[in-house]
């Protein structure tokens, strides 16, 4: 889901890029973390800073908001100096209008579905105007992209923390399974947003590209864990990619049943038990 050329900021002299780098330097964070804070694809940020892509106006607005600088100064206006050094940047993730908009969008999509959520609803939840929402995220597709990106970035952080602490690949896989079982309110919200993305992806090529990107990332993570398990001897010799395909499909199907509103729907405990049974029957080496 990329932006049309007309949305992009002219930066022939490189002043805009230089000032964005100054904002990143003031915040003292990595480029990946900065991209997360402004709800932007890290690869787009990298290309924009490298000069092969221009920032969009909406991205510049979000950068100004998170960096607590003037938008005009970012765009190169000589009469708009950078803010005083004692002006603190917006708190992240609690502060900052872009993240507030994204968090409320996630909550509303989870509660009502993307098509039932109006920009006016998001603005009301944020205590601001619809113009302010459009200022940061011009279109509904961009809001959906930002909501999904935020959910997936949060999920990726939790995955990484658990994988780093796991003693072997078997424990890593159990950690991933636990994260994907919708027990908590946050897990259910993320799954409901993901289900809305599926529906949109079936009708929109742009949203479909976003879906494909995240799904490939998720399945690759599972395949890498399975591959490590085979190398460590905690899993039997299987095809990692095909096993990841089967396991992620099983997770998707079971989670969809858990999220169904019927009183006799599959519960999270049943889902978790079924996934552990898959690991035992398909991956655990025979004695």
Dihedral sign computed on CA atoms, order 29, 33, 39, 40 = positive
What tokens does 10 get?
Answer: 């002219």
pLDDT tens digits, one per residue of 21-63: 999 998 888 888 888 788 888 888 999 998 888 888 888 888 8
Q: Check whether 134 has a pLDDT greater than 70.
A: yes
Q: Check whether 90 has a pLDDT greater than 50.
A: no
Q: How far is CA 96 from CA 67, 75, 83, 86, 126, in A?
A: 9, 20, 17, 17, 11
Give residue 143's pLDDT band: very low, low, confident or very high (50, 70, 90). confident
For the ranges 78-92, 124-138, 191-205, 216-230, the one whose mean pLDDT is highest: 216-230
Mean pLDDT (the chain, rounded): 83
Judge contact between 98 and 66, C-beta under 8 A. Answer: yes
- Give the residue among 49, 15, 14 at the shortest CA–CA distance from 35: 49
- Give the residue among 254, 243, 252 at the shortest CA–CA distance from 284: 243
Of the listed ranges 83-87, 177-181, 188-192, the one predicted with least confidence? 83-87
């Amino acid at each position: 889901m990329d932006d049309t050329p007309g949305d992009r900021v002219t930066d022939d002299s490189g002043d805009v890029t230089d000032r964005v780098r100054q904002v990143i330097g003031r915040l003292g964070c990595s480029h990946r973390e900065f991209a997360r804070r402004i709800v932007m694809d890290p690869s787009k940020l990298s290309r924009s800073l490298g000069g092969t892509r221009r920032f969009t106006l909406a991205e510049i607005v979000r950068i100004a908001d998170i960096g607590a600088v003037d938008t005009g100064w970012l765009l190169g206006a000589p009469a708009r100096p950078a803010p005083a050094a004692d002006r603190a940047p917006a708190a992240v993730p609690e502060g900052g209008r872009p993240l507030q908009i994204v968090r409320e969008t996630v909550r509303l999509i989870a509660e009502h579905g993307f098509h039932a959520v109006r920009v006016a609803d998001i603005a009301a939840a944020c205590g601001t105007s619809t113009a302010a929402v459009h200022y940061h995220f011009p279109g509904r597709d961009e809001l959906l992209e930002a909501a999904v990106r935020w959910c997936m970035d949060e999920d990726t952080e939790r995955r990484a923390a658990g994988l780093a602490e796991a003693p072997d690949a078997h424990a890593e896989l159990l950690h991933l399974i636990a994260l994907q079982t919708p027990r908590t309110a946050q897990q259910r919200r993320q799954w409901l947003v993901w289900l809305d993305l599926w529906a949109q992806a079936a009708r929109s090529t742009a949203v479909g590209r976003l879906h494909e990107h995240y799904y490939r990332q998720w399945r690759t993570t599972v395949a890498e864990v399975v591959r490590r398990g085979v190398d460590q001897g905690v899993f039997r010799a299987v095809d990692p990619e095909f096993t990841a395909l089967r396991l992620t499909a099983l997770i998707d199907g079971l989670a969809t049943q858990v999220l169904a509103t019927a009183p006799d729907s599959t519960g999270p405990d049943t889902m978790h038990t079924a996934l552990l049974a898959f690991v035992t029957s398909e991956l655990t080496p025979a004695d």
